[in-house]
């Protein structure tokens, strides 16, 4: 395979972590999973977004930076591929949705300093699913603080991701994941594996449908 650092991205409930586990197992890759449960501000944020958005996003950025810096820069003689279930840029995308303008400008200053210190992935796999599918997945995984996420919030996050990918010409495998079931349907996982065998140009989006 041509890629050494692959990041899986998508909206809340898109199936990022499931696919990351499968790819890491298939390629015997180092696996980086976001430690969202360690963020003490997450339940409070869903209860009171205006009050807790800034500490929530600062905590996420600090933890993501620490994790990616430690793991990506650590040489592993037995695992030449790294698979992560988040892109560091998601810090900025969620902050743009969650923070008022003045707080976002301050947040972006910290982000710009940190961003330069990290290795960026060779390829992003973006899982796109309609909000109805995302809500279904969110209900299924049954995290109490997620159960009342408004559709509008998921739409806004979705728009932030797609705008970023298109505007920055990120090399992306764009998967229509509306009916995705990577665990139970081997054909769905094979679409991902076949897509990873291709050598894409420096940037651009490459679209795939699941059977």
Print pLDDT tens along the chain (211 aa): 789 999 999 999 999 999 999 999 999 999 999 987 788 999 999 999 999 999 999 999 999 999 998 776 676 666 789 999 999 999 999 999 999 999 999 999 999 999 998 988 999 999 999 999 999 999 998 888 888 899 999 999 999 999 998 888 788 999 999 999 999 999 999 999 999 998 877 678 899 999 8
The full set of domain ranges for the chain reads 5-209
Known active-site residue 85: yes
Long-range contacts of 134-140 (CB under 8 A, 24+ apart): 134/11, 134/12, 134/13, 134/14, 135/13, 136/13, 137/13, 137/14, 137/15, 138/12, 138/13
pTM, full prediction: 0.92
Which member of 38, 76, 85, 176 is catalytic? Answer: 85
Architecture of the domain defined by 5-209: 3-Layer(aba) Sandwich (3.40)
């Amino acid at each position: 395979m041509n890629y050494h650092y692959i990041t899986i991205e998508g909206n809340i409930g898109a199936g990022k972590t499931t696919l990351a586990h499968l790819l890491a197992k298939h390629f015997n890759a180092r696996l980086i999973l976001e430690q969202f449960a360690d963020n003490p501000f997450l339940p409070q944020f869903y209860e009171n977004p205006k009050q807790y958005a800034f500490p929530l996003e600062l905590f996420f950025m600090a933890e993501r930076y620490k994790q990616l810096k430690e793991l990506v820069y650590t040489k592993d003689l037995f695992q030449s591929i790294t698979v992560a279930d988040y892109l560091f840029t998601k810090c900025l995308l969620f902050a743009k949705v969650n923070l008022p303008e003045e707080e976002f400008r301050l947040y972006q200053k910290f982000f710009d300093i940190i961003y330069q210190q990290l290795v960026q992935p060779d390829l992003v796999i973006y899982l796109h699913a309609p909000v109805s599918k995302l809500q279904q997945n969110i209900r299924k995984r049954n995290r109490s603080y997620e159960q009342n996420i408004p559709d509008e919030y998921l739409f806004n996050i979705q728009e932030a991701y797609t705008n970023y990918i298109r505007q920055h010409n990120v090399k992306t495998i764009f998967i229509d994941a509306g009916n995705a079931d990577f665990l139970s349907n081997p054909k769905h996982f094979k679409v991902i594996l076949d897509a990873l065998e291709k050598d894409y140009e420096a940037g651009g989006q490459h679209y795939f449908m699941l059977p």
